[in-house]
Amino acid sequence: MKKILFVCLGNICRSPTADGVLRKLVADSGLEKRMLIDSAGTGDWHIGRAPDSRTIKAAARRGYDLSVLRARLVTQDDFDEFDYILAMDKSNLAHLQKMKPAHFAGHLGLFMDFAPHMGYSEVPDPYHGDEDDFERVLDLVEEAAQHLLKKIV
């Protein structure tokens, strides 16, 4: 069983998208029993809320249902639970590196490192952007999720 946690700032746009996209890839590959997937945020503004409506709509157009997800904060316990903790940008990663306990033996890094050919080291924050920014999140996340799955399985 591999456990993967995606982390962004608000846990309402990028990391829930990664969560939903990888969940569907895993389900379509019949690997549900071998992978546990979750997402969390480094900021606390949206705790308990569903993903941003623009995120839900953009994902739904590509066949992903994010409506059941609820935002939560990343916690110290996550370092005991998860094997892969993947940050959407360098600011999230810096936050996680400060939290990381010395005994954490898993992989902490940037999600886009799994798809370097895309030319993005970070998934840009779409929160103050337009529809194209939300589409770009999906483009990047779909590609990185596929390569992550290939690498892990």
Q: Does the active-site annotation cover 14?
A: yes
Which tokens go with 150? 């290939």
The answer to the question of residue 39 lying near ligand 4NP (CB under 6 A) is no
The residue with its CB nearest to ligand 4NP is: 10
CA 50 to CA 59: how far, in whole Å? 13
Q: How far is the CB of 6 from ligand 4NP (least distance, A)?
A: 10
Which stretch, 3-11, 19-27, 98-106, 138-146, contacts ligand 4NP (CB under 6 A)? Answer: 3-11
The answer to the question of residue 66 lying near ligand 4NP (CB under 6 A) is no
What residues form DSSP beta bridges with 4? 37, 84
The catalytic residue among 8, 19, 54, 89 is 8
The binding track of 91-130 with respect to ligand 4NP, each residue x by CB under 6 A or -, is ----------------------------------x-x---
Q: Scanning the structure block, which residue is given the tokens 């094997």? A: 83
Q: How many CB atoms lie within 10 A of CB 142?
A: 18
What residues form DSSP beta bridges with 39? 6
Chain centroid offset of residue 50 CA: 15
Q: Does the active-site annotation cover 19?
A: no
| 120: DSSP letter | -
What residues form DSSP beta bridges with 35? 2
CA 125 to CA 13: how far, in whole Å? 8
* Among 4, 12, 74, 138, contact with ligand 4NP (rule: CB under 6 A): 12
Residues tagged active-site: 8, 14, 125
- List contacts with ligand 4NP (CB under 6 A): 8-14, 45, 125, 127
